[in-house]
Structure 1
Amino acid sequence: MKEIYQVKTRSIALSENQVVGKKYRITILTDCLIRFEYNEQGEFEDRATQTVFYRDFPKVEYRVVEKEEGLEIHTANLHVIYNEKEFTSYGLKIQVKGNLSAYHSVWRYGEGVHDLGGTARTLDMVDGETSLERGIVSYFGYSVLDDSHSQILLDNGWIEPAKKDRKDFYFFGYGRDYKRALKDFYSLCGRTPMLPRYALGNWWSRYYKYTEQSYMALMERFDKENLPFSVAVIDMDWHLVDIDPKYGSGWTGYTWNKELFPEPKRFLQRLHERGMKVT
């Protein structure tokens, strides 16, 4: 894969921040953010995923208390109690310090998390309220990011599926310090890129069977009417849509319809020469 499309990651955490057993690894990333891994073969993942890019956080002050029934980990803001076995609700418990609540500040593995919500995948066909994906901040002071099934990023930029038998999640225990929770989320997963200026301009999009000639004629008409557009959406029919079902749905594809656009490179160049981006 070309370098321009590859994500630059820093996925290996400091060994000083890790508590490792035969089948588990706990990585203290901050005093409020901890990664938990479990695998029966004792194999842990140091590569980045499509969700988590950066684990190279600075050294964290914490202490480990070993007991007959397991171990406890204390940071400035979290108290972990773990029996060193496969993660269960009775074997792994995490408390957010600070007396947020006598009950709700304690999370047990597998319990649902009542966070304040994240983003909506799409607003297609939405008319009114819609469900949100999981978020990072919670009234109860904690949230969980499950990374067990995310695709693994390879050094060459490609991906591979995660191993099915691994458990890998991040516990965010920031109390009501929502700004810091989001800041460390960005440090872990990467900052949201700023939109380029052209994305905030006018986009022309219509589900219509254009040809190169008719599309360029329309762009000329826009110029004459002093209608500024920064993005040209070619929509559907630039590619073949009437295809054999064994190749998938005609709603997507990469094969240009040469009857409508006989010279795709020329067509795209003409749009670029007008200062337009194309999608």
Structure 2
Amino acid sequence: MLIIRLSTLALLSCMHSRASASSAMSTAAADPAAIVQAGSARFTVLTDDVIRMEDGRWTDEPTFAFINRKLDVPRYHVERNGSTVTITTKALKLEYDQGTKTAFSPSNLRVTMGDVVWTPKPEGVGDANKGNLLGTVRTLDGVDGWLDLDCANQDRYDLHCTYGLLSTQGYTVVDDTNRPRFTAPPEHMQAMGIGWYERPQVDEASDEECAAVKVEERRGCGEDSIVPLDCLGRGCCYDEDPESGPSCWYVPTRSHATRDWYFIGHGSPDGIDYKGTLKAMSKMMGKIPLLPRYAYGGGDSRY
């Protein structure tokens, strides 16, 4: 009975992996009509409330979080005035100054939704996690008692704390930079049609490269709460207790110095619309698959 059950789980997992990978590879790239390029930056208008913001190296591959960007293109307007590019949808307005030498920063990027204004900070997505309804951690191993899910207060790096998609301030910003992505499987596995994913590989920055970046020129590489493992895995520099500036920063001369953010608004005519946001995000992130109850065995089956 156990062998049959495990075989069923393996088969269902394989079938889901194959279907997900095939679907993700074909729908990962957005409709060209939804894309606005501005110098080294690229913006993709996914919905009235959701805009993807890339700077540096762009990618159309599906990632662990975002597998579908080929959505119906919403109505939006683009205005170019000198070096400033303004994108306006029914729900928000994004302003970007492509004439600045730095990547996304408070001086060149701003998103406005009604009375709410968001700008990034040098160390990352800024106040985007303020009011967040919180997410989850990778494991509860070693946890004894109460656990703080506010990642800014979580000092256990091995938990890989992650913020949620919803916030009481009406928006969140998801950092998808250098996240694991789906790619074509190795040649010997292509016939099986099994999905394949990998984390973009970059060489760790040397001590000399990190020391060469002046404190005032440090540009954040990830969220404020990024853990050392993720920071170094992006080829960035890390200082657990910096005197000033971000704790994780880019080496500007490296080609991976990039950002891939998603501004996710929760707006609606009647105020914050959490259900509408989750419905919209499920189109981009996919629905969470659930195995049929019989696959879990007699103890969990109605049969």
TM-score range, shorter chain: 0.5 to 0.7
| Corresponding residue pairs, total | 195
Q: Which runs of 5 or more structure 2 residues have no equivalent in the other structure?
A: 1-13, 150-161, 186-194, 203-255
Q: CA deviation at 1:196?
A: 2.6
Is 1:173 equivalent to 2:292 in the alignment?
A: no
Q: Compared with structure 1, are the counterparts of its residues 117 and 230 closer, same or farther at alpha carbon in structure 2 (3 Å cutoff)?
A: closer
Cα deviation, residue 5, structure 1: 3.1
Alpha carbons of 1:160 and 1:194: their partners in 2 closer, same or farther (altered >3 Å)? closer
Query: In the alignment, which of 120, 129, 142 is matched to residue 125 of structure 1?
Result: 142
Q: Which runs of structure 2 are paired with 1:27-66 in the superposition (5 Å)? A: 27-39=44-56, 43-66=57-80
Larger % of helix: which? Answer: 2
> What are the superposed Cα offsets for residues 144-178 of structure 1, whole Å, 9 maximum, x if unpaired?
11110202211223333336322101000113111
Question: Aligned partners of 1:186, 1:76: CA distance in 2, in Å?
Answer: 21
- Using the alignment, how far apart are the partners of 1:229 and 1:35 within structure 2? 44
- Unmatched 5+ stretches in structure 1: 100-104, 202-227, 232-279
Partner of 1:117, secondary structure, is coil
**Structure with bigger RCO (C-alpha 8 Å, 6+ apart):** 2
* Higher Cα Rg, which structure: 1
Residues 1:185 and 1:129: Cα distance change in structure 2 (over 3 Å): farther
Q: Note closer, same or farther for the CA distance 1:137–1:71 as it changes in structure 2 (3 Å cut).
A: same
Q: CA deviation at 1:92?
A: 0.5
1:230, CA displacement in angstroms? Answer: 6.2
Q: Which amino acid aligns with 2:111?
A: I
Alignment RMSD (CA, Å): 2.3
1:158 paired to 2:250:
no
**Distance in 2 between residues matched to 1:147 and 1:61, nearest whole Å:** 25
Structure 2 counterpart of 1:189: 285
Deviations 1:42-95 (A, max 9, x none): x42011112210001101100012112411111111111111242112210111
Once the two structures are aligned, what percentage of the paired residues are identical? 32
Give the structure-1-normalised TM-score.
0.64
- Cα distance in 2 for residues equivalent to 1:178 and 1:61: 22
Runs of 4+ in 1 over 6 A off after TM superposition: none
Q: TM-score, normalised by structure 2?
A: 0.59
